Chain A
Amino acid sequence: MKKFFRIFSLVILFSGFLLNIQAAEKIEYLKTDWSFKGLFGKFDRAALQRGYQVYTEVCSSCHSMKYLSYRNLAEKGGPEFSIDQAKAIAASFEVKDGPNADGDMFTRPGRLSDKFVMPYDNVQAAQAANGGAYPPDMSVLVKARGGGVDYIYSLLQGYEDPPAGITLDDGVYYNKYMYGNKIKMANQLSDGLVEYSDGTIATVEQMSKDVTTFLMWSAEPHLESRHQMGFKAIVYLIILTILVYFSMKRIWSRIETEV
């Protein structure tokens, strides 16, 4: 029994070693308590809904979200807008469709099944409008950045005047959390920029937290069911392991040797 604990702790140690490699490059990011971390982590519905508001009113003028559909807004484990709310949100966007029977393209109000409308027609148009920098698609952005949610949360609040000696070109801004500190996105958030319908005061910190929560959901829309299933799966495995352990002891007790 001792032996197997040794093996187990070795495996854990080794995993820890692996995690360490990943963590080696970590910078000190701003910390906040994320409701979706931990064994039972869940999204804060209100934060998701507010985050969606920040995304639509601020980010979406440059950043696309191509893997999300309006129907996702009403799905379980997400912002959980009601179906009618989601329909209304979809209908507020003009979607290009077609060709129709005459061979013409036309626009119509969005439906639940539509993907989020993109701010630009293509990458080139996005680059032309943003001084050559492509505003990345935000669907999986938190998974595509080393620091994840902490990085995005910090970046949004990391704008500063450049330290003495650093000169910035036109359209380049200083951000203390950006890789290389130079970013082509200007500071977007300022206190009171959006007016939250639930009465929450829209500080920069609050908006950063809300929109980052929204981005976490957009990157991992099944996070809640993953956590729930994971807990059940691991509890099941532990119980089964204990039962199998005692069966094993029983079977091996027929012969004189230690398992």
Chain B
Amino acid sequence: MSDHEYTPKSKFGKWFNDRLPLLTLANHLTDYPTPKNLNYWWTFGGILTFCLITQIVTGLVLAMHYIAHADMAFDSVEHIMRDVNYGWLIRYIHANGASMFFLAVYIHIFRSLFYGSYKAPREIIWIIGIIIYLLMMAAAFLGYVLPWGQMSFWGATVITNLFSAIPLVGEGIVTWLWGGYSVDNPTLTRFFTLHYLIPFLILGLVVLHIWALHVPGNNNPVGIDVKKPSKDTVPFHPYIVIKDGFALLMFMIVFAFFVFYTPNILGHADNYIEANPLVTPAHIVPEWYLLPFYAILRSVPDKLLGVVAMLSAILILAALPWLDTSKIRSAVFRPLYKQFYWILVADVLILGYVGAMPAEGLYLLVARVATAYYFLHFLVILPVLGWKEKTLPIPLSITEPILGGSPNLATAKNKESLNN
């Protein structure tokens, strides 16, 4: 991985490193040449790592006090909130942490979309990222079931029932998932087990994600390949470490505000009512971060096709490196793509909004148009744009514009893009 050989200074260090090159790894991580023009959108990778660790640590403590049993789960959560020392803090960090995690991952994904970070040679990083995102959604859904409130129970019922859309074996699969003929205690215990497992799978994939990143190195706002190491790059430590740290602290302020001042605003009130199989809530809605996909699901009148549309909406992202035919990575040099990018952002936000609303009347119509546009963007607009679009001239290196006389054109360009 590293461009230069590393030899530890101490004799013991050398002895150890010859047997297990941990010190070489540490050296690689600190020296790792990073493009110096990375903007703050690039800090969300570090923020996401923080989110994952926070979820694992708080989750570990919660699991010590939580009881995965249909008759006791709700009570045990209240026990955590009332009687466990700082249990309320740990639970609110965990519950809001999930939302913060998704907020960060959406910014991370949309940064990738803007700067074309999924393009060659970074396809594998991107695909691992999509798998992580899928696992995150699974973990979030499973975790939402655990408090065993009304939304937990009915959310679990709705989502597991989606599998019944599969022809022939659907019903059988649903019974197998439930461990019975309805969502009940066996469902809760297995959901708890899986909810505990998935974060560690994510952790493993995050290691692969970073490993795959360190082979070609970071993309950058200009989207051109940089020579490493060169005057275009800075060592990861201390430059990127302090910058990521600064951004992380900003993020933590927002996080803390939610935890301490509006800890329940992102959840649904019905989840403070204990699960009751005999009473269906008026509106069953998922957590905000799943709403765009929920809107896509509901916008298709046929159940099976709805499920297919929802899954395709996520899986289509994995094909993105091949659907986007443009050789230019950064949207900064793609005037048309830049406009379509912001339309896509608006489209996804609209899908999220209608996903929270009842599926009827104008909301349903808007959801259908937005769903159609979502697929149109990836399947038609992106491939065609790659062939038709007239791109702006790209600089040869990050530092080149400076030599050309203009003060850091790359940053200027990048600012311009944020203004649009």
Contacts and interface: CB of A to CB of B under 8 A. Distances in A.
Interface of A: 2-4, 6-8, 11-12, 14-15, 17-19, 21-22, 24, 39, 67, 72, 136, 139-140, 143-146, 148, 179, 219-222, 226-227, 229-231, 233-234, 237-238, 240-241, 244-245, 247-248, 251-252, 255-259
Interface stretch (B115-123, B154-162, B267-275, B335-343): B267-275
A104 to B, nearest CB: 26
Interface in B138-196: none
A4 B247 contact: yes
B40 A234 contact: no
Nearest to A139: B78
A259 B238 CA distance: 13
Given A19-B265, A226-B260, 7 more contacts: A7-B40, A15-B258, A140-B78, A143-B269, A144-B270, A233-B260, A244-B242
A234 B269 contact: no
A3 B37 contact: no
Interface stretch (B6-14, B18-26, B128-136, B249-257): B249-257
Contacts of A233: 256, 260
21 contacts: A3-B415, A8-B250, A11-B254, A18-B266, A21-B352, A67-B75, A67-B78, A144-B270, A222-B81, A226-B260, A233-B256, A234-B257, A237-B252, A237-B253, A240-B249, A241-B250, A247-B242, A248-B242, A252-B239, A257-B36, A259-B243
Contact of B249 (A227, A230, A241): A241
The SS class assigned to the A binding surface is: helix
B36 A255 contact: yes
A11 B251 CA distance: 9
B70 to A, nearest CB: 15
A241 B249 CA distance: 6
Contacts of A247: 242
Given A244-B242, A255-B36, A226 B254 contact: no
A41 B75 CA distance: 27
A251 B260 contact: no
Contacts of A237: 249, 252-253, 256
A18 B402 CA distance: 41
B256 A257 contact: no
A133 B418 CA distance: 56
A230 B62 CA distance: 20
Interface string B86-98: 0011001000000
Given A15-B254, A240-B249, A221 B238 contact: no
B245 interface: yes
B246 A241 contact: yes
Nearest to A75: B82
B374 interface: no
Interface string B291-317: 100000000000000000000000000
Contacts of A21: 288, 291, 352-353, 356
A14 B411 CA distance: 25
B19 to A, nearest CB: 35
Contacts of A252: 239, 242-243
Contacts of B291: 21
Contacts of B243: 248, 252, 259
B357 A24 contact: yes
Contact of A14 (B103, B247, B402): B103
B211 interface: no
Given A15-B254, A234-B257, A241-B249, A258 B411 contact: yes
A105 to B, nearest CB: 22
B249 A140 contact: no
Given A11-B254, A237-B253, A258-B411, A18 B288 contact: yes
A244 B246 contact: yes
Interface residues of B, number: 54
A184 to B, nearest CB: 14
A213 B266 CA distance: 22
A61 B292 CA distance: 45
A251 B252 CA distance: 22
B349 A17 contact: yes
B254 A179 contact: no
Contacts of B230: none
B280 interface: no
B264 interface: yes
B269 A230 contact: no
Contacts of B411: 257-258
Nearest to A241: B249
A237 B39 CA distance: 22
A222 B88 contact: yes
Contacts of A139: 78
A164 to B, nearest CB: 26
Interface string B32-46: 000011011100000
Given A12-B254, A234-B253, A258-B408, A145 B269 contact: yes
B253 A241 contact: yes
Given A234-B253, A241-B246, A244-B242, A144 B273 contact: yes
Given A222-B88, A226-B89, A237-B253, A6 B260 contact: no
Nearest to B271: A144
B353 A227 contact: no
A13 to B, nearest CB: 11
B80 to A, nearest CB: 11
Nearest to B150: A144
A72 B82 CA distance: 10
Contacts of B251: 11
Contacts of A227: 260-261
Nearest to B411: A258
B362 interface: no
A26 B411 CA distance: 44
Contacts of B282: 179
B394 interface: no
Contacts of B349: 17
B234 interface: yes
Nearest to A236: B256
B260 A230 contact: yes
B259 interface: yes
Given A226-B88, A230-B261, A257-B36, A140 B272 contact: yes
